[in-house]
Structure 1
Amino acid sequence: MRIGTKLKQVRENRKMSQSELAAALDTTQKTISNWESDKGLPTLFQLSKIEEILQVDVLSWLEDGGITFNQNSKNHTILDNTHTAYSKLIKQYEKFISEKDSIIEKQKEIIETLIKNIKS
């Protein structure tokens, strides 16, 4: 089950509206709606506040998504696994960069052609 689905279930079980949760988190109802429909994700800070407000273990939600937390010897929370979203974002970014470079090259060719036509 996704984070958004879990958030919605817990919020509804607590008889809290999206607007009420949004106010408690200092965000908008639309943001809560986006999270619940998995169109966005809360930050770790927001997740910690959700945990406080809804009295739920959000770490278990993250573990279901491939992120686990363990305590090291100094009792600091460390991230063991990277969420696949990060690698997807990196691939998307690399694709955008490649497309940008291709567009720049095409624009250079057009400019060179225009300059040649002006000189002729």
Structure 2
Amino acid sequence: MKIGSKVRKHREAKGWSQDDLAFRLDVTQGTISNIESDKSIPNSLLLNRIAKELEVDINELLNEGIQVNISNNQFSDLSSAGTINQYNPVYNMQSPEITESILKNQEQIADLIEAQSKLIEALLKK
């Protein structure tokens, strides 16, 4: 199942409309629609906010049906495909500091882009 389908499933489980989720995330309903229809993939900052609003682990939204069992330091693939998708991201769950740092950097980038957009708008109005 793709990210969009998972977002839709969790949103509907809460009884929310796309407008409800969009309002909570301060984005447009079209943004939610594009994510749910897999026309766009949310950046890491937005994906983290979506996971928090829907009260799900971000890895649940990212994982495309691949389940890995770890026991005695041995990995065994439990997916029906029999192989782990090489493009599926791997996260070190023992390092939440790195994840937090990345998310803070993403927030700073988003703030810079917003400030840049406002500056450009102001310049165009002159």
Q: TM-score range by the shorter chain?
A: 0.5 to 0.7
1:117 corresponds in structure 2 to none
Q: Does the 8 Å CA contact 2:7/2:61 hold for their aligned counterparts?
A: no
Verify the 8 A CA contact 2:51 2:61 in the aligned structure 1.
no
C-alpha spacing 1:45/1:13, structure 2 compared with 1 (3 Å): same
Which of the numbers 82, 88, 93 marks the counterpart of 1:66?
88
Task: Quote the residue 2:7 is aligned against.
Answer: 7
Report Cα offsets for 1:36-73 as digits up to 9, x if no partner.
Answer: 00000111111111121110112232232701210466
> 2:96 & 2:20 partners in 1: Cα distance?
37
Aligned identity (percent) is 41
Report the AA paired with residue 98 of structure 2.
H
Q: Which amino acid aligns with 2:45?
A: F
What is the TM-score when the length of structure 2 is the normalising length?
Answer: 0.55
* Aligned equivalents of 1:9, 1:19: Cα separation in 2: 15
Structure 1 residue ranges, 4+ long, deviating more than 6 angstroms after superposition: none
User: What corresponds to 1:56 in structure 2?
Assistant: 56
- Structure 1 residues 65-118: Cα deviation after superposition (integer angstroms, max 9, x where no partner): 701210466842399xxxxxxxxxxxxxxxxxxxxxxxxxxxxxxxxxxxxxxx
More helix by share: 1
Q: Which runs of 5+ in 2 are unaligned?
A: 65-86, 103-126
Is 1:59–1:68's contact at 8 Å kept on the other side of the alignment? Answer: no
> Which shows bigger deviation, 14-23 or 44-53?
44-53
Higher relative contact order (CA 8 A, sep 6+): 2
Corresponding residue of 1:41? 41
Distance 1:25 1:46 in 2: 8
Closer, same or farther in 2 for the Cα pair 1:60/1:68, shift >3 Å?
farther
The 2-side partners of 1:52 and 1:35 are apart by 16
What is the TM-score of this pair, normalised by structure 1? 0.58
Between structure 1 and structure 2, the one with the greater Rg is 1
Pairs aligned (count) = 79
Contact 1:18 1:32 (8 Å CA) reproduced: yes
